[in-house]
A and B are shown apart, each in its own frame.
Chain A
Amino acid sequence: MPPAIFEAVPDLLDKRLLFVTGKGGVGKSTIAIALGLLAARRGLRTIVAELASQERVQGLFSEAEREQFRELELAPRLFTISIDPQQAMEEYLRVKAGTVGQALASSRLFQAFAMATPGMRELLSIGKVWELAQLNRRTRGAAPYDLVIVDAPATGHGVGLLRTPRTFADIARVGPIAHQGRTIADTIADRDFTGVIAVATPEEMPINETLTLADELAKDGLPLDLVIVNALYPARFEAAEIAELASALSRTRSALARSALRAALSEHTRAATQREQRDRLRGRVNGRLVELPYLFAEHLGLPQLRQLADSLEAAL
């Protein structure tokens, strides 16, 4: 019998491919890793894939580990990879087209053309993501993963990324690209296999983007599996206490006391705005919504990531 802990998250971590997306600056990479830590803790061999030139996931760990396109083990059972479209193309050509592929891969002209073709970078990146999620991996000697978490690009580009395979399949109609595009598109459309998680901070623009994302994905028949409201300030004070703080501010001349009171009033205002925004999101999103606390830390390192993994575990 499986341990009860698995039943606590019946669907999300049972999928094999999770896309984490959201507006820039909302903490996608951090959350992708925290989810990865949670999955690895539960015994899943997990990889967090970031897409080209973001270089953030691994940045959370060590500068020296920022080597691209290698699967690195960060914690027991938790790996990361930074997917570079050009390297993905070379790998694809080597495996799929043998010596001709080799020749193409080494042709500067061909590379320049392929990299310039709109959508090609996205297709190659998502192709590699798909490859990572296969039980029989194309990459020789590579072990399969139980879960692939994609630290996806910002919202608008994220939707573009998810649509790219279908688009290419439609444009190319027949031939290997069409076939490959269709295979990947079907994988993305498979709700048992693929999940999409939106991350937002409780502010106007990130919430708007999340709502737009939800609408856009719904058009493609991809409902959001989970919405994470990240960096929510604590609710430290009741409304009645705020009046007390304001009154105290008018009665003291101590610079320290005044600074502390101002900081409290200021954070309370922001916290209240955040809650309004969160409620606006909650009212519109039918799926599950999880809140993560603002972390008051100078640097988000492993201890903070573990803390987020704990919060996710509790919330899921």
Chain B
Amino acid sequence: MNVAEMLEGKRVCVCAGSGGVGKTTTSAAVALGMAAAGAKVAVVTIDPAKRLANALGLEQLENEPRRVEAERLATGDLEINGELWAMMLDPKRTFDELIDRIAPDPARAREIKDNRVYRELSTAVSGSQELTAIAKLYELDQEHRFDLLVLDTPPSRNALEFLDAPGRLNAFLEGRALKAFMRPTGLGIRALGRGALPLLGGLRRITGIDLISDLSVFFQLLGDMTNDFSERAAQVAQLLRAPSTAFVLVTSAAREPIDEAIWFGQRLQDEGLPFAGVVVNRVHHDLLGDREPREVRQSLARVLAPRLASRVAENFRDYHVLARRDSHNLARLTGQLDERRLLLVPQLDDDVHDVEGLLRIYRYLFGSQAERDRLIEDLVA
């Protein structure tokens, strides 16, 4: 299966994975390939490498997709039959826009945005990127302007953060737990039983009264908007679960990213989220099996001086250590999933930072099985 087959009939593609595995590049290559095949695609990314962003014309944070001009894509032999759009997410602005949208009037929206608790919340790195990324995805999906949305998930060390963080932040915004503490005579506190009053006192003692009253003001400001947060959270959850959504896991072939990909795949399965496939970047393919350095030196004897040949042989031996490592990790991964849903991109000579680089990756993602096999064979001889 290639990416085009995995994403057949899909409207949302979420590229998830741990940090440093090439998620942004993979997302861009997926979007490019689907655009080439005729779809109108938008890729939503958080923090692309500067050169790649420049190559796509993403000079500033605009928070709205902008079309990548055809001239920028006119490299190589790939014809773009559809449209490629791209945007860099601005979490703070997305959060503000969310408040603008659900606040009953502009004055209230302004008050909320000036609130200290809100300011901390909307700029805190942890959680706000994940929440706003999903909010933006949901919003774009609602607008029906694109055939496909590709989301490059926020760079966090732990891939699962993408699934967990928005829920945590939403739980806070819904404020149910806090409200129970806030209304000493309300229903919530009664539900807590007789221990509630000392609990409230304890909470004050531990957190300080100011914090509690700040939070209290914040939630008063939010008022009924907390219901909107719950509602939106439910709709977003539905979007992620929809059959028209696809999760593509991105990983490298090193041990920890593979572990995380396996955990993530497990989570998708447990939560009934739609899994489409795995892209493994930076694979060191086993070129010709294990060879003794002596054998390699001999094969080079006619074309290289012995001292240089022995360094080439040494390099080859080191390369094979990585190839063995990768094939071991890939075996663990394939033990957990349908092998046809695995796409391998080899270790390339250079970082990808332009459209040409994306095209190199494109061939490994969108080629037919036979084409992909041939590309890998070509690496050997």
Known A-B contacts A177-B206, A259-B287, A260-B296; A118 and B124 likewise in contact (beta carbons under 8 Å): yes
Verify A256–B18 contact, CB threshold 8 A: no
Known: A248-B303, A261-B312. A266 touches B291 (CB 8 A): no
Does A171 lie within 8 Å of B120, measured CB to CB? yes
A208/B255 in contact, CB under 8 A: no
Max chain B Cβ within 10 angstroms of own Cβ: one of A244, A256, A269: A256
- For the complex formed, measure the closest distance between the CB of B116 and the CB atoms of chain A, giving whole angstroms: 6
**A2 contacts partner chain B, Cβ-Cβ < 8 Å:** no
- Would you call B270 an interface residue if the criterion is a C-beta within 8 Å of the partner chain's C-beta atoms? no
Instruction: Report the bound CA distance from A154 to B325 in whole Å.
Output: 25
- B114 at interface, CB cutoff 8 A: no
Listed stretches B61-69, B103-111, B195-203, B335-343; interface member = B195-203
Shortest distance in angstroms between A256's beta carbon and chain B's nearest beta carbon? Answer: 4
- Provided the pairs A205-B49, A236-B311 are in contact, do residues A24 and B19 lie with their beta carbons within 8 angstroms? yes
Point out the residue from A25, A110, A175, A203 that lies within 8 Å of B211, measured CB to CB.
Answer: A175
Judged by a CB distance under 8 angstroms, whether A189 is at the interface is no
Partner-contacting stretch, out of B35-43, B171-179, B365-373: B171-179
A252 cross-chain contacts in B, Cβ below 8 A: 299-300, 302-303
- Nearest residue in A to B193 (C-beta to C-beta)? A107
In A239-267, the 8 Å CB interface with B consists of 241, 244-245, 247-248, 251-252, 254-264, 266-267
Q: Let me know if A103 is at the binding interface, CB within 8 A.
A: yes
Given known contacts A159-B125, A171-B117, A259-B316, is B304 in contact with A244 (CB within 8 Å)? yes
Stretch of B73-81, B139-147, B154-162, B220-228 contacting A (4+ beta carbons < 8 Å):
B154-162
Check: B257 CB closer than 8 A to any chain A CB.
yes
**A206 surroundings in chain B (CB, below 8 A):** 20
Q: Is B55 on the interface with A (CB-CB < 8 A)?
A: no
In the complex, A121 Cα to B168 Cα: how many Å?
11
Given A109-B180, A116-B177, A264 contacting B203 (CB threshold 8 A):
no
B308 at the interface (CB under 8 A from A): yes
Contact of A118 among B126, B308, B322 (CB under 8 A): B126
A173 and B117 alpha carbons, distance in the complex (Å) = 13
Q: Does A289 contact B (CB under 8 A)?
A: no
Which residues does chain B contribute within 8 Å of A264, judged by CB atoms?
311-312, 315-316
Whether a CB of chain A sits under 8 angstroms from the CB of B314 is yes
Chain B residues lying within 8 Å of A254, measured Cβ to Cβ, are 299
Given A109-B192, A171-B120, A264-B312, residue A24 in contact with residue B205 (CB < 8 A): no
Which residues of A have CB within 8 Å of B312?
A: 245, 260-261, 264
**Per a CB cutoff under 8 Å, which of A25, A117, A256 touches B21?**
A25
- Closest chain B CB from A45 CB (angstroms): 27
Instruction: Check A178 for interface membership: any CB of B closer than 8 A.
Output: yes
Interface 9-mer from B82-90, B233-241, B346-354: B346-354
User: Cβ of A160: which chain B residues have Cβ within 8 Å of it?
Assistant: 124-126
Q: Contacts A119-B120, A157-B126, A236-B311 hold; do A256 and B296 have CB atoms under 8 A apart?
A: yes
A117 to B206, CA, bound (A): 14
Evaluate contact between B252 and A25: CB separation under 8 angstroms.
Answer: yes
B207 within 8 Å of A by Cβ?
yes
Tell me how many residues of B have a C-beta within 8 Å of chain A: 84
* A288 contacts chain B at the CB level, 8 A cutoff: no
Are B299 and A260 neighbours in the complex by a CB distance under 8 Å? yes
Alpha-carbon gap, A204 to B183, bound state (A):
52
Chain A neighbourhood of B204, CB < 8 A: 175
Q: Are B303 and A257 in contact (CB under 8 A)?
A: yes
Bound Cα distance A113, B206 (Å)? 14
- CB-based contact B18/A25 at 8 Å: yes
Asked if residues A204 and B211 are in contact (CB atoms below 8 Å), the reply is no
* Chain B residues with CB below 8 A from A174, complex form: 208-210
Task: Provide the bound-state CA to CA distance between A153 and B49, in Å.
Answer: 20
Q: Cβ of B315 and Cβ of A267 under 8 Å apart?
A: yes
Task: List A residues 152-205 near B (Cβ within 8 Å).
Answer: 153-154, 156-157, 159-160, 167, 171-178, 201, 203-205
Query: Which A residue's beta carbon lies closest to that of B209?
Result: A175
Tell whether, in the assembled complex, residue A299 and residue B287 are in contact, meaning their CB atoms are under 8 Å apart: no
Complex contact B319–A267 (CB within 8 A)? yes
Q: Provide the residues of chain A in CB contact with B18, threshold 8 Å.
A: 24-25
Q: By the criterion CB–CB under 8 Å, are B208 and A24 in contact?
A: no
Evaluate contact between A97 and B157: CB separation under 8 angstroms.
no
Q: Is A23 close to B, CB under 8 A?
A: yes
Binary interface encoding of chain A residues 108-148 relative to chain B, with 1 for a CB under 8 A from any of its CBs, else 0: 01101101111101100000000000000000000000000
Contact code string A201-235 (vs B, CB < 8 Å = 1, else 0): 10111101000000000000000000000000000
With beta carbons under 8 angstroms apart, the residue of B155, B172, B195, B295 that contacts A117 is B172
Given contacts A109-B177, A109-B180, contact A178 B208 (CB under 8 A): yes
Contact A260–B117 (Cβ < 8 Å) = no
Q: Does A314 contact B (CB under 8 A)?
A: no
- A247–B300 Cα gap in the complex (Å)? 12
CA of A262 to CA of B284, assembled, Å: 13
Instruction: Determine if B206 and A297 form an interchain contact, defined as CB atoms under 8 angstroms apart.
Output: no
Nearest B residue (CB) for A53: B158
- Chain B, residue nearest A296 (CB): B318
**A286-304 near B? 1/0 per residue, CB < 8 Å:** 0000000000111110000
Chain B residues, Cβ within 8 Å of A175? 204-205, 207-211
Interface CB pairs A-B, < 8 A, 26: A24-B18, A56-B256, A103-B202, A104-B203, A107-B195, A110-B177, A113-B178, A160-B125, A173-B210, A176-B207, A178-B211, A203-B351, A204-B351, A208-B49, A208-B50, A245-B312, A257-B296, A260-B316, A264-B316, A269-B349, A270-B350, A296-B318, A297-B321, A298-B321, A299-B255, A300-B255
Leading 9 A-B pairs by shortest Cβ distance: A24-B19, A175-B208, A25-B20, A113-B177, A100-B202, A116-B172, A248-B303, A296-B318, A257-B299
Since A116-B168, A201-B20, A258-B381 are in contact, a sample of 8 more A-B pairs with Cβ atoms closer than 8 Å, ordered by chain A residue number, is A100-B205, A104-B199, A109-B177, A173-B210, A175-B209, A245-B312, A252-B302, A257-B296
